A and B are shown apart, each in its own frame.
Chain A
Amino acid sequence: MGADGLLGAFEEQVLLAVIRTAGEAYGMEVRRELERMTGRDLAIGAVYATLDRLEAKGLVTSARPRSAPSRRLFSIARAGVASLSATRAARERLWHGVNLARLAPDRT
């Protein structure tokens, strides 16, 4: 997350994966979801390190469910939702008026 409150690309992906796997969002599941959606084989260490950083910033929280105390389950915090929405808004402003088709080379 930059000084302006916007998320980095990987942080954004990890936050989205936490939302998508809500209720199941422990480290390996987040990693699997990212792999499924982006097609990239991500290192589990990188996912945990990013989740820690997000938690330190207050964008996610972690807790241990009574049923599985060995697991650290992540859920998005209110600040995380706000950051995601700000990041998305910024991205859409950037995309506004950009026509990729015009820039793409002609296909014959």
Chain B
Amino acid sequence: MPSQLPPLAASCLRRWIPRAEQAEVLGDLAAEYARRRASDGRLPAEGWLWRQVARSLPPLVRRSWWRGWTGFEPQANRMQPGGAPMESWIMDVRYAARRLRTRPTYALLAILTLALGVGGTAAIFSLVRGLLFERLPYAHEEELAVFWNQFDWSEAEYVFLKPQVTGFQSFATWRSADVTLEAPGAPARLLHGIASSANLFDVLGSRPALGRTFQTDEDRQGAENVVVLSDAMWRQLGADPAILGRRLRMAGVDCTVIGVMPARFWFPDPEVQVWFAASLNPQSRSGQYAQIGRMPPGRSIEGMGPTLTQITGLLATNFQYSAQWDKTKNAKLTPVREYLLGSLRPALLATAVAMALILLIACANVAALMLGQVDGRAGELAVRSALGANRRRLAQQLVAEAVLVGTLAGAIGAGLATLGFRFLVAMLPLGAWGQAARIDWTLFALAIVIALVAAVAIALVPVVSLWRGDVRGRLARVRTSGGGRMEGGLVVAEVALAVLMAAGAALLVRSVTKLYAIDPGMDTRQVAVVDITMPVQMSTELRQRTLRELVAAVGAIPGVRSASAVQRLPLRGTGDNWGIQIAGHPELPRSTTAFRIVEPGYFQTMGYRLVAGRLFDATDRPDGERGVVINEALARQYFGGENPVGRQVVTFDSLERVIGVVGNASEANLVDSAAAARYMLYDQIPYAPTAHSIVMRTSRPGDVAAVLVAARRVIQQTAPSVAVQELTTMRRVFALAVGPARQVMGLLAVLTALAMVLGAIGVYGVISHFVNRRMRDWGIRMALGLAPRRVVGHVVRRGLALVAIGAVIGVAAALAGARLLTSFLYGVSAGDPLSLAAATTALLAAGALAAYAPARRASRVDPASVLREQ
């Protein structure tokens, strides 16, 4: 028969037709095709053939599935080789499903273990992808760079440089400027804002969704106040497209809304709600600004050398810098991505590594479990092999089982990943980005893909063992001792990974413990804090009076023992340093110290220690002599061994008398060494900023929350124009000052616990299997008089040996890998012996415990019943 089917049509059908029927079906089809081609012509014949293929495939696929699932084999095909190629997979999946159903412990352990690893990994990688690899909402982000970011810039520097610097396409300046939004009939609220030069959006290359951004002259002094809203802010205001041109009362002045940015836009973080055109003062040298420039297309940061030289040259002609803050010497451009997101990287990276380790541990666990199962099935596999199953088919069955486990684990893992994602967002130090992180469908896809890849990788372990071993020879060796080397290797690897993680967690625990052990110099317990902002147009006198009234009002709240206020709370970073001179000592260098403006009762409320002299009291009147309280560091630095009380210091041009000395406190950061600081009363200086913190010490620890709620209400009643920015406690401020190490530690501790549980499960599984294999030996030896306690010792020793080898490898890996955590460590070296010892001990204890259960089982075996089983 001159019958040939087109190859594509034949191959479409072939994989769904049993081997025994392929020759007949394809041959008949080819003959019919040839007949039609001869009688009707080529085109109609091909049309007929492809209709046959298209309409045959669905019933054939259904039949393969049905045959694979039911195991149906027609009478005529008995003693014929094989079913449809796809059918064997379906049969194997079905067989695997049946095996899993009949071994629920193994199945649950394998699926849940893998699901945990998969869920965690999918969650962190989804988070990392969303935060670190998403495109920034600016045109050609590779052209954007931030000027020497360790420095603050001033308006004077920007106005001076802008017309003269030639190497950038353009550059803009901005500073953080939180403002109050006042609406009639509603309490004032605080918005996160940015004040920038008019060209900020042009430099970023971002267009508004509505209206326009700033025009060239809008950052001049005296220009109309204009504001651009974030999409979220616009929606909070009612999402009215007619908002353009509306005037909003912000920071006490009327601002015209000129534009709304798209939903995806953010700068410099996702919490910013409004952008103002700053009114740039060429004389202002106060430094709070950052600068961002757009480089010419195709130019790299390395290629900007001449421009940096030009900038430092220009700065040197017009500005003088102290050696420590010399901008002419430390020129450096930072890519915008690193500037904006760089701080997130260490925590995300450490978490991603930890999650990947958990996944690896889970995979090793499941592989060890499968290996144990393969060994348990040695007899069955040998019989199948003797009946003609080849290794390929046996391997396919293992892969089918792994894929089934992987699919189920992927489905459960996807669910766990959504939980894990929320958990990570809450646990990681992500700041404003935490709120911006969103779950999307890729998370689920990722979970399934990771699970399937892991499953195939897992299946390779038993497949390799099968391939290497002589399957038929196993029949003879069933239930004898020996073997298990590969399983042992897997557990060693698992333990090594768990030790690695435990060592990392121990390092962080030690760091954080050390951070918490630092004495901040005050009593942070039972202190409630309310951060407030006053309107810009409020006069200094009115601010002082309002603050007095507010402190008096919150002081009357039941449960408040004492109340006060300060312009800058301790432990919130550097800032507010004022120049100082000592009267009668012109030879001492002019310098600055931390400067705090307080209400009376501040030291008692915050729990500072009085060292000498007295604290502020009712005798310090607004019109009386100005008093200053200094701390021990200032006393030592400026007065040496002399008693400073009664001496005078100079702030600007006025004199203050030192009335007392208090102990050093962490005025800026927790880990800074004690810095000189001085404290004055609001009423005695002609200055009051807009932002203040009201502090209240409560009588009982449990009162703090209730006091905070009452304080918000009291403040709004007493001064409706004051915006309540944040309610918090000194405990929380302290925790934030401890920094990201605390949050990363919490997360890593949870993950380490998980890793140790998985490691212990691995040890348990392998030792159980080891015990099962040797049960007969022990039965005989115990019948001959071996003491059960020696069996226990033998089994536990075996478990501990595996853990010990794993621990040694894990410690070596920890020594090599601890650098990843360096940025979180404080007062501990990356190779801290105590941490490594703790990690090893924890794993040895877990390993001993995991081995003990099967060991006891082995020691209780009844020799007679074991021997009967043989």
Contact = CB atoms under 8 A, between A and B. Distances in A.
A72 B55 contact: no
Max chain A Cβ within 10 angstroms of own Cβ: one of B16, B28, B77: B28
Nearest to A74: B76
Contacts of A44: 25, 28-29, 52, 56
B32 A46 contact: no
Interface string A49-78: 110110110000111100000111100000
B74 A26 contact: no
Q: Is the interface of B mostly helix, strand, loop or mixed?
A: helix
Interface residues of A, number: 23
A27 B17 CA distance: 13
Contacts of B76: 62-64, 72-73
Contacts of B58: 45
B24 A43 contact: no
B28 A28 contact: yes
Max chain B Cβ within 10 angstroms of own Cβ: one of A27, A45, A50, A73: A45
A106 interface: no
A73 B25 CA distance: 12
Nearest to B23: A70
B282 interface: no
Interface residues of B, number: 32
Contact of A52 (B48, B56, B72): B72
Contacts of B63: 45, 48-49, 52
Interface in A30-56: 41, 43-46, 48-50, 52-53, 55-56
B21 interface: yes
Interface string B8-33: 00000100110011011101110110
A48 B56 CA distance: 9
Given A62-B75, A64-B76, A72 B57 contact: no
Contact of B77 (A41, A43, A49, A72): A72
Contacts of A52: 63, 66-67, 72, 74
B383 interface: no
A41 B75 CA distance: 28
Nearest to B62: A49
B485 interface: no
Given A46-B59, A49-B62, A61-B75, A72 B24 contact: yes
A62 B74 CA distance: 7
B281 interface: no
A52 B24 CA distance: 15
B486 interface: no
A70 B24 contact: yes
Given A28-B32, A45-B60, A49-B62, A55 B24 contact: no
B651 interface: no
A43 B52 contact: yes
Interface of B: 13, 16-17, 20-21, 23-25, 27-29, 31-32, 48, 51-52, 55-60, 62-63, 66-67, 70, 72, 74-77
- The 9 A-B residue pairs with the shortest CB-CB distance, nearest first, are A45-B56, A43-B55, A28-B28, A62-B76, A49-B59, A49-B63, A45-B60, A43-B56, A72-B76
Given A28-B31, A48-B17, 9 more contacts: A27-B28, A41-B51, A44-B28, A45-B52, A45-B56, A45-B63, A49-B63, A52-B66, A73-B76
